[in-house]
Chain A
Amino acid sequence: NAGVTQTPKFQVLKTGQSMTLQCAQDMNHEYMSWYRQDPGMGLRLIHYSVGAGITDQGEVPNGYNVSRSTTEDFPLRLLSAAPSQTSVYFCASSRDRNTEAFFGQGTRLTVV
C-alpha cells in the first residue's frame, strides 16, 4: 500500500521561483492537509481540503495556493518562493474529520 506519496523529497529553489509540491493518496480519504515543520515549532497547518473542490486556509497560508480537483491529489503551490519558506513540508490525509491523519514522508525545501 502506497498510502500518502509526496514528490519531490528534496528541492532547492531560488528566491522568486515558483514550484508545486505534489501529494497523492490511494486510501480514498476525503480530508487532506498540508503542514510545514520548522525547528521548535512543531507542525503548522498551511491549507486543508474536506473533499474534491473544497479547500480552506490553515494557520500559515500566506505564499501558498492549493487546489483539489480529485480525491486523490492535493498539490501545494509556492507562487514566489522566499527564504522564509525553507522548511520540511508534510502532506496528510484522513478518512474523516476526527480520525488520525496519515502523513507522507515529507519534502525538504530550501530557498536560497
Chain B
Amino acid sequence: DQQVKQNSPSLSVQEGRISILNCDYTNSMFDYFLWYKKYPAEGPTFLISISSIKDKNEDGRFTVFLNKSAKHLSLHIVPSQPGDSAVYFCAAGASGGYNKLIFGAGTRLAVHP
C-alpha cells in the first residue's frame, strides 16, 4: 500500500504559467514533507520542504502548501520555465524516523515555450 501517492504521472504546462503538482499521503505520523527534482541521469536534488506546523512555505518561484486534514500537499511553480522540466518527487517522513523518507512515484513536468 503506497503511503505517498502522486496520482498524475505527467503534467504539461506552457512557459510563464503556473505548474501545480499534487501529492497525497495516508500515514498520520508523517510530519515533514519534501519535494525533490530529478533530471535524467542525475540524482534527485532537494527543492523545498515543509513541516506539519506550517501550511505554506515559499522559496522564490516555488511554494509548497500543506493541508493536514486532507493529507494533501501541493507544489506550485510560478512562473514555470523550460528548465523546470524534470521529474518531481514528493517525500514524507516522521520525526524520529531516522530520515526514512517515503517517496511518491513522481510526476514528469514538461514546460513548453
Q: Which residues of A contact B (CB under 8 A)?
A: 4, 31, 33, 35, 40-45, 48, 50, 56, 58-59, 90, 92, 94, 96-106
Contacts and interface: CB of A to CB of B under 8 A. Distances in A.
A103 B32 CA distance: 18
Interface residues of B, number: 29
Contact of B105 (A42, A90, A103): A42
A100 B44 CA distance: 11
Nearest 9 interchain pairs by C-beta: A103-B43, A100-B46, A42-B103, A43-B103, A42-B105, A97-B99, A31-B99, A103-B44, A105-B43
B27 interface: no
Given A97-B95, A98-B93, A98-B95, A45 B100 contact: yes
Nearest to B104: A42
Do most interface residues of chain B lie in helix, strand or loop, or is the interface mixed?
loop
Contacts of A56: 98
Nearest to B51: A98
A92 B102 CA distance: 13
A104 B43 contact: yes
B97 A97 contact: yes
B96 interface: yes
Interface string B71-108: 00000000000000000010101011111111111100
Interface of B: 4, 6, 9, 32, 34, 36, 41-46, 49, 51, 89, 91, 93, 95-106
A31 B98 contact: yes
A41 B105 contact: yes
A93 B91 CA distance: 15
Nearest to A94: B99
Given A42-B104, A101-B99, 4 more contacts: A42-B103, A97-B96, A103-B44, A105-B43
Q: Which of A43, A45, A99, A105 has the most CB of B within 10 A?
A: A43
